[in-house]
A and B are shown apart, each in its own frame.
Chain A
């Protein structure tokens, strides 16, 4: 049973460029959340998608946007990249029809390491 899968695993982009990160949730999960983890810090919530809609958003600018597809997979898009966007981006999924964080928490993917130069 595949867990949460993310692609790519590593990415190097130039300041000002745009990037798209992808996530497939664990089988049986329909809710996808994205987190940004800067080096040496705890993950910070970007937003959550459920039923193809953004349900809640953290304190991130509009340069960060997302999408969820009918098969529950999700994309995170970041426009006009800044050096400070360099981080590990984690996707997390929650069980079917939960619409919220299940009592058992999230299942996290291995992340995409984004480096902006």
Chain B
């Protein structure tokens, strides 16, 4: 059964710093998604990564995928307070699967 693990689970950082969230998954998958969730709110889609070596960037966030290592990273550059949220990675467990398997989430707090 596919397992998705994120680390760290909690991250407190200062504005202006850089940091990386890691997402490891246990079996082969051809799609990985990153979502953002604000407290009490729904999930907002950030990135979809479809192939080995894929890199996507939006503002201060950049996501990458290494399917051979079964690893995705979400890199935050020069963090700002507005990026405080919980970030989830999610993986399609096999081709044709009807579900996403989510990691536990990384709660990111960015302090002024």
Contact = CB atoms under 8 A, between A and B. Distances in A.
Interface of A: 33, 40-45, 48, 50, 55-56, 58, 90, 92, 100-101, 103-111, 113
B31 interface: yes
Contacts of A113: 40
Contacts of B35: 105, 108
Contacts, number: 64
Interface size class, chain B = 20 to 34
Contacts of B40: 113
Interface of B: 4, 31, 33, 35, 40-45, 48, 50, 88, 90, 92, 96-105
Interface residue SS majority, chain B: loop
Given A43-B43, A55-B98, A105 B104 contact: no
Contacts of B48: 103-105
Interface centre among A48, A101, A111 (most CB of B within 10 A): A101
